[in-house]
Amino acid sequence: MNDTATETIKDALVEVGVDLVATLPEGNFQPLIEKIEAEPTITWVPLAREEEGVGICAGAYMGGMKPALLIMNSGFLDSTNALTTLNLLAGIPVLLLIGYSGGVSEFLWMHSQVGAATEPVLRALGLVYERAEKLSEVAAQVRDCQALATITKRPVALLLNKECLR
């Protein structure tokens, strides 16, 4: 992930008022996580497991913050019960920034199944999502996803594929 990509995404988060980001590292994300850690307007919460991040973001939202969860799609699959039985059951939004391992421009074979399952599971949960494929479009997509999450009080996901993060 180059400096332009990390700056673009971090700036887009700041612009829409995101002030807490819970993260679990993914190879492509590490430079972005470092930018988030260094951003003074964002409370950075490094996680030990993605599902707890769903709970932390829910609590932060109720307390008046605008949280986002930056995780890999494997962690999204791990978080599906939390997203249904916390967010969807209780009307709690969250911006999900999901690394699309096994998606377009993947280069590691072991991510193939998690990649294939990602969009069907998002649809099965009834979650609206966007695919970020070009860096030039990411800032607008972050804005649109955060706005939709806010007004619908539901999680909305932005799938970041490796091409977009280069």
Partner 1 sequence: MKRYECLEAMLPFVAEDDLVVTNLGRVRDEWHAVRPSEGNYNVFVLGLCSSVGLGLALALPHRRVIVLDSDGSLLINLPTLTTIADQNPANLVHIVFDNQAYESAGGGRTHTAGRADLAMIARGAGFENAFAAESLEDFRATAQRALEGTGLFFVAARVEIGSAPVPSNPYDAMETTYRFMRHLEQLEGTSLLSLAPPAYALPAHLGWGRH
Q: Please identify, using beta-carbon distances, which residue of 17 and 27 lies nearer to partner 1.
A: 17
Q: Containing H/E element for 59?
A: helix 50-62
By CB under 8 A, tell whether 43 contacts partner 1. Answer: yes
89 CB-contact burial (10 Å; exposed 0-12 / middle 13-18 / buried 19+): exposed
| Residue from 5, 9, 13, 16 binding partner 1 (CB under 8 A) | 16
Q: Number of residues interacting with partner 1: please give it, by CB under 8 A.
A: 40
Instruction: For the CB of residue 117, give the shortest distance to partner 1 in the complex, in Å.
Output: 21
Out of 18, 33, 36, 51, point to the residue binding partner 1 (CB under 8 A). Answer: 51
Whether the CB-CB separation of 44 and 16 falls below 8 Å is answered with no
Contacts of 131 (CB under 8 A, 6+ apart): 100, 103, 159, 161
Considering the complex, state which of residue 1 and residue 70 has its C-beta at the smaller distance from partner 1: 70
In this complex, which beta carbon is closest to partner 1, that of residue 52 or of residue 106?
Answer: 52
User: What's the closest the beta carbon of residue 29 comes to partner 1, in angstroms?
Assistant: 17
Spatial distance between the Cα atoms of 20 and 89, rounded to a whole number of angstroms: 22
Query: Where in 97-156 is the site for partner 1 (CB under 8 A)?
Result: 143-144, 146-147, 150-151
Bridge partner list, 99: 72, 160
CB of 68 to partner 1, least distance (A): 12
Binding segment for partner 1 (CB under 8 A), chosen from 1-9, 47-55, 111-119, 129-137, is: 47-55
Say if CB 94 and CB 69 are below 8 A apart.
yes
Q: Does 15 bind partner 1 (CB under 8 A)?
A: yes
The CA–CA distances, whole Å, from 104 to 33, 37, 54, 99, 132 equal 22, 28, 26, 11, 11
